[in-house]
């Protein structure tokens, strides 16, 4: 038995020695350049040289696949799916860090600051009251089509904001309460509501822009509004035209600019970009997701202020979009330039 054990040990030692010899030979071969073999005739032919006299070195036609394993270039594949040619997409990890870090964390702070800031303003200052009693005289402010377009845009925006926030933040509070299976089904419903509400929101934004673009051009009273910060400093609401400067900021930046950015990036995510040929690659979709989420959070924060002023934040402000008419006292105090123009 001892003789058998010693023979097995010698065999293992021999195999280990051969393996180490081969390994050291491979390492030395990698370090030292391979020397060309002498020609059979004993004559060494000259090597090819570059134009500057330096010796040319042969390079492989294609680099090894592991050299580009952690990069994004698309290699050649014979199937229509170009994404199959990327072994590891490095940008995917960057997108995940931006979405779950920058957008999710700072977006939550922006929304929280907007919400609690409005709540503190309501508690400390209360709603903006009229200085004079209501006159009972009604002034027409919006027609039926304008109000219909506004409410379609408002309803689609609320649906998009609610479902979008659930898609972005639902896994942190809804999934632990509902469970993974129920949350997955619920999120699928939210996704469908979100996708089908998007085109309706875009259409209403475009129509609303065509209806009110000329009334939101900066003009008389805007500089005074800026100086008094909308009447926050001074006690009296500054005179304004049909829309004051704060409403114009919401119209141009919040509704038009951010609304169209959200719509365009949303069409990319839905793969329904009109009038253009777009390659819906992973990198394209990830960039669209970052733009879409960032613009949506900013618009939602601005919309909180717009909704507050248009509902409980200002006495009589909701009458215009509810009935189409406002009280003459409200029109004179908040939009004096417009009131004087129509009163003539």
Residues 101-136: tens digit of each pLDDT: 999 999 999 999 999 999 999 999 899 899 899 999
Of the candidates 28, 169, 44, the residue with the CA atom closest to the CA atom of residue 111: 169
CA 153 to CA 200: how far, in whole Å? 8
Q: Which of 68-72, 208-212, 219-223, 308-312 has the lowest mean pLDDT?
A: 68-72
pLDDT band at 88 (very low <50, low <70, confident <90, very high): confident
3-class state of residue 100 by DSSP: helix
| Mean pLDDT, rounded, for 67-74 | 54
Residue 84 pLDDT level (bands cut at 50, 70, 90): confident
pLDDT at 43: 47
Residues 6+ apart with CB under 8 A from 89: 72, 282, 283
Say how many Å lie between the first and final Cα of the chain, rounded. 121
Give tens-digit pLDDT for 275-316. Answer: 777 778 888 899 999 999 999 999 999 999 999 999 999 999
Tell me which of 46-60, 178-192, 269-283, 324-338 is least confident.
46-60
Task: Tell whether the torsion through CA atoms of 326, 328, 333 and 334 is positive or negative.
Answer: positive
Distance of CA 31 to the CA centre of its chain: 50
Q: Is residue 49 packed enough to be buried (19+ CB in 10 Å), middle (13-18) or exposed (0-12)?
A: exposed
Q: How far apart are the C-alpha atoms of 146 and 338, rounded to whole Å? A: 18
pLDDT bin (cut points 50, 70, 90) of residue 224 is confident
Give me the mean pLDDT over the 60-66 stretch: 51
The residue behind tokens 């939210």 is 190
What is d(CA 207, CA 148) in angstroms, rounded to the nearest whole number? 11
Position 72 scores a pLDDT of 64
Q: Which domains does the chain have, with CATH numbers?
A: 98-126+145-343 (1.20.950.20)
């Amino acid at each position: 038995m001892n003789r058998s054990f010693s023979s097995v040990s010698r065999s293992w030692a021999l195999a280990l020695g051969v393996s180490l010899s081969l390994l050291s030979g491979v390492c030395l071969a990698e370090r030292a350049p391979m020397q060309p073999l002498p020609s059979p005739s004993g004559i060494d032919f000259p090597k090819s040289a570059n134009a500057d006299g330096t010796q040319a070195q042969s390079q492989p036609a294609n680099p090894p696949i592991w050299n580009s394993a952690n990069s994004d270039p698309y290699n050649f594949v014979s199937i229509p799916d170009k994404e199959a040619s990327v072994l590891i997409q490095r940008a995917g990890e960057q997108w995940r860090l931006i979405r779950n870090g920058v957008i999710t964390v700072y977006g939550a702070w922006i929304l929280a600051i907007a919400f609690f800031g409005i709540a503190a303003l309501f508690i400390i200052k209360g709603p903006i009251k009229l200085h004079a009693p209501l006159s009972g005289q009604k002034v027409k402010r919006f027609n039926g089509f304008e109000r219909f377009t506004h409410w379609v845009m408002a309803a689609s925006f609320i649906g998009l904001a609610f479902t979008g926030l659930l898609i972005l933040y639902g896994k942190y509070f809804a999934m632990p309460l509902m469970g993974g299976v129920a949350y997955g089904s619920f999120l699928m419903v939210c996704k469908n509501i979100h996708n089908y509400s998007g085109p309706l929101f875009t259409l209403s934004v475009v129509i609303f822009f065509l209806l009110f673009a000329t009334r939101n051009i900066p003009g008389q009273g805007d500089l005074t509004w800026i100086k008094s910060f909308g009447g926050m400093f001074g006690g009296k609401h500054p005179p304004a035209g049909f829309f004051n400067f704060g409403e114009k900021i919401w119209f141009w930046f919040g509704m038009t600019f951010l609304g169209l950015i959200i719509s365009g990036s949303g069409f990319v995510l839905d793969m329904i970009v009109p009038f253009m040929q777009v390659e819906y690659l992973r990198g394209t979709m990830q960039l669209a997701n970052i733009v879409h989420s960032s613009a949506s959070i900013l618009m939602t924060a601005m919309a909180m202020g717009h909704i507050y002023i248009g509902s409980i934040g200002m006495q009589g402000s909701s009458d215009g979009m509810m009935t189409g008419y406002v009280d003459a006292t409200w029109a004179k105090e908040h939009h004096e330039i417009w009131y004087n123009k129509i009163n003539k």
